[in-house]
């Protein structure tokens, strides 16, 4: 067992609120019996601006990867608009290593609907689209059933609960494109055009879906809203890390004994998550590397995890980011060249092809990395690879370019020795060949 792991008290002290351990919560009668839609009813007695203020003060940061303050995002929406306003709930969940929104859709879909309703009420929105990746067929069915139940209970639709507030919630199914998780690409996908990201500005709050004011929030972000309204911002802002508070769904995959999604307060030590929550490494091997927040985030060395915690501040200091909180653990026997080649292949396949640096750069990086994988690389290839990555970063319309560059850059910064070793081995390989 790892020596850095501390007492187990902290592990058990958190009672899950996003994914409470209650069965049948996906059925409305069970959800209602467990104080379901109580937060929405409470919100309906508040003024819309009071709700936005509450979310702002809670310090909730978006759970879709960028950690943007949700209340601030909501406040960008114009109060008075001649055009209709829209909410898009992002359930595209395609970031490798990420499988958390799926749990909400499966086990607590009414929490998502309740959060969507509160968001719509707060921003004066009458139509919300929940965009779900095409592969999540089972989850789409479950959510649709929950939506139907909510309609039948007058919680969605016209004159909700006898008030003059009306909102419709629709599911829009994706069809297999990582890029559609990018907010402007997601809007294009809903509009029925190729899912190309849009240039910003204009930002969605001014010019979003069909040129109308639009807010896009991740599924987990929206699921946090009823928790904030129910418990108040003061309670919420004290959960977990100060600058990035609240419960967070952390997914752990790769070389661990007990992979899965765990709900915990932000700011948990990374090593504790790996050893206590996810059961440690099979065969008691060491940790070579960890990707903390989905494949786009900077890779961390296994021997430098001691003070790293699962929150915005701490991971930023460590040279990475929370991303989608999808931790991928790699044990001491892992071939990191193979790992980074596969990551590069992913971005090459998923680049939408709109911007030259990303379209050409991702395939170039993949080709260079294939040379490393196949023991055909030279020493110059290391710097060439870094050069290509550096020239993609910051030079594209959307963040996919950065997302493709960061893992490659960080792999070279953290594990240059692995690349050099491969070059040495390549010489031997060519001789023996």
User: Strand 168-173's sheet: what is its strand order?
Assistant: 168-173, 127-132, 86-91, 214-218
Q: Kindly indicate which of the ranges 39-47, 237-245, 324-332, 361-369 contains the residues binding another protein, using the contact rule CB under 8 A.
A: 324-332
**Binding of another protein by 364 (CB under 8 A):** no
Q: How far is the CB of 170 from another protein (least distance, A)?
A: 5
Of residues 16, 48, 69, 134, which one binds another protein by CB under 8 A?
134
Q: Kindly indicate which of the ranges 8-16, 73-81, 176-184, 416-424 contains the residues binding another protein, using the contact rule CB under 8 A.
A: 176-184
Q: Name which of 195 and 361 has its Cβ closer to another protein.
A: 195
Q: Which of 32, 120, 16 is nearest to 77 (CA)?
A: 120
Cα angle 256, 261, 265 (rounded to 5 degrees) comes to: 110
**Binding of another protein by 265 (CB under 8 A):** no
**Binding of another protein by 174 (CB under 8 A):** yes
265: Cβ–Cβ under 8 A, 6 or more apart, which residues?
14, 239, 240, 241, 245, 246, 247, 248
Kindly state the greatest CA–CA separation across the chain: 80
Angstrom distances, CA of residue 40 to CA of 45, 142, 225, 248, 400: 9, 21, 9, 21, 35
Of residues 70, 98, 314, 354, which one binds another protein by CB under 8 A?
98
The answer to whether 73 touches 205, Cβ cutoff 8 Å, is yes
Q: Which of 101, 81, 103, 85 is nearest to 93 (CA)?
A: 101
3-state helix, strand, coil in the chain (%, to 5): 50, 15, 40
The answer to whether 168 touches 128, Cβ cutoff 8 Å, is yes
**Binding of another protein by 257 (CB under 8 A):** no
Q: How far is the CB of 352 from another protein (least distance, A)?
A: 8
Q: Kindly indicate which of the ranges 15-23, 147-155, 333-341, 354-362 contains the residues binding another protein, using the contact rule CB under 8 A.
A: 333-341
Would you state the structure tokens that stand for residue 28, as one six-digit string?
């409305």
Burial class of residue 14 (count of CB atoms within 10 Å of its CB; 0-12, 13-18, 19+): middle
Phi, psi of 408 (to 5 degrees): -70, -50
Q: Name which of 135 and 313 has its Cβ closer to another protein.
A: 135
Q: How far is the CB of 262 from another protein (least distance, A)?
A: 10
Q: How far is the CB of 350 from another protein (least distance, A)?
A: 7
The answer to whether 128 touches 116, Cβ cutoff 8 Å, is yes
Q: Kindly indicate which of the ranges 184-192, 314-322, 369-377, 397-405 contains the residues binding another protein, using the contact rule CB under 8 A.
A: 184-192
Using the structure block, give the residue that is written with the tokens 């952390």.
250
Q: Which of 249, 300, 325, 246 is nearest to 66 (CA)?
A: 325
Size of the site for another protein (CB under 8 A): 55
Q: Kindly indicate which of the ranges 4-12, 21-29, 173-181, 300-308 contains the residues binding another protein, using the contact rule CB under 8 A.
A: 173-181
Cα angle 365, 368, 370 (rounded to 5 degrees) comes to: 105
**Binding of another protein by 96 (CB under 8 A):** yes
Q: How far is the CB of 68 from another protein (least distance, A)?
A: 22
Q: How far is the CB of 374 from another protein (least distance, A)?
A: 15
**Binding of another protein by 253 (CB under 8 A):** yes
Q: Which of residues 269-308 bind another protein (CB under 8 A)?
A: 291, 295
Q: How far is the CB of 138 from another protein (least distance, A)?
A: 8
Q: Kindly indicate which of the ranges 189-197, 200-208, 408-416, 420-428 contains the residues binding another protein, using the contact rule CB under 8 A.
A: 189-197
**Binding of another protein by 413 (CB under 8 A):** no
Q: How far is the CB of 255 from another protein (least distance, A)?
A: 6
The answer to whether 301 touches 332, Cβ cutoff 8 Å, is no
Burial class of residue 92 (count of CB atoms within 10 Å of its CB; 0-12, 13-18, 19+): buried
Of residues 47, 79, 138, 416, which one binds another protein by CB under 8 A?
138
**Chain residues in the site for another protein (CB under 8 A):** 84, 93-99, 102, 127, 133-138, 168, 170, 172-178, 189-195, 210, 251-255, 259-261, 291, 295, 326, 328, 330, 334, 338-339, 342-343, 346, 349-350, 352
């Amino acid at each position: 067992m790892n020596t850095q792991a501390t007492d187990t008290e902290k592990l058990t002290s958190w009672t899950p609120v996003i994914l409470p351990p209650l069965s049948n919560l996906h059925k409305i009668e069970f959800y209602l019996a467990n104080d379901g839609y109580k937060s929405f009813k409470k919100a309906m007695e508040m003024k819309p601006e009071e709700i936005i203020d509450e979310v702002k003060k809670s310090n909730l940061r978006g759970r879709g990867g960028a950690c943007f303050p949700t209340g601030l995002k909501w406040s960008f929406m114009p109060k008075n608009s001649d055009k209709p306003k829209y909410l898009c709930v992002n359930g595209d969940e395609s970031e490798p290593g990420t499988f958390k929104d799926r749990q909400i859709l499966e086990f607590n879909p009414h929490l998502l609907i309740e959060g969507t309703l509160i968001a719509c009420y707060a921003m004066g929105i009458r139509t919300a689209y929940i965009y779900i990746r095409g592969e999540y067929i089972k989850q789409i069915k479950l959510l649709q059933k929950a939506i139907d139940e909510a309609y039948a209970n007058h919680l969605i639709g016209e004159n909700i609960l006898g008030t003059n507030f009306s909102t419709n919630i629709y599911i829009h199914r994706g069809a297999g494109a990582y890029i559609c998780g990018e907010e402007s690409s997601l809007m294009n996908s809903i509009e029925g055009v190729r899912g190309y990201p849009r240039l910003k500005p204009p930002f969605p709050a001014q010019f979003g879906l069909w040129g109308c004011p639009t807010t896009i929030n991740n599924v987990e972000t929206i699921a946090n809203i009823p928790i904030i309204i129910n418990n108040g911002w003061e309670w919420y802002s004290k959960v977990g890390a100060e600058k990035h508070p609240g419960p967070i769904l952390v997914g752990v995959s790769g070389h661990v004994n007990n992979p899965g999604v765990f709900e915990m307060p932000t700011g948990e030590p990374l090593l504790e998550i790996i050893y206590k929550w996810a059961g440690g490494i099979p065969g008691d091997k060491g940790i070579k590397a960890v990707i903390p927040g989905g494949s786009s985030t900077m890779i961390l060395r296994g021997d430098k995890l001691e003070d790293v915690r699962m929150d915005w501040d701490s991971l930023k200091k460590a040279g990475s980011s929370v991303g989608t909180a999808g931790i991928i653990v790699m044990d001491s026997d892992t071939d990191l060249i193979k790992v980074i080649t596969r990551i590069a292949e992913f971005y090459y396949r998923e680049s939408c092809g709109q911007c030259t640096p990303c379209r050409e750069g991702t395939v170039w990086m993949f080709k260079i990395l294939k040379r490393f994988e196949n023991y055909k690389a030279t020493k110059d290839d290391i710097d060439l690879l870094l050069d290509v990555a550096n020239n993609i970063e910051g030079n594209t319309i959307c963040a996919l370019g950065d997302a493709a560059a960061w893992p490659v850059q960080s792999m070279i910064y953290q594990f240059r020795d692995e690349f050099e070793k491969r070059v040495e081995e390549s010489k031997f390989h060519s001789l023996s060949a």
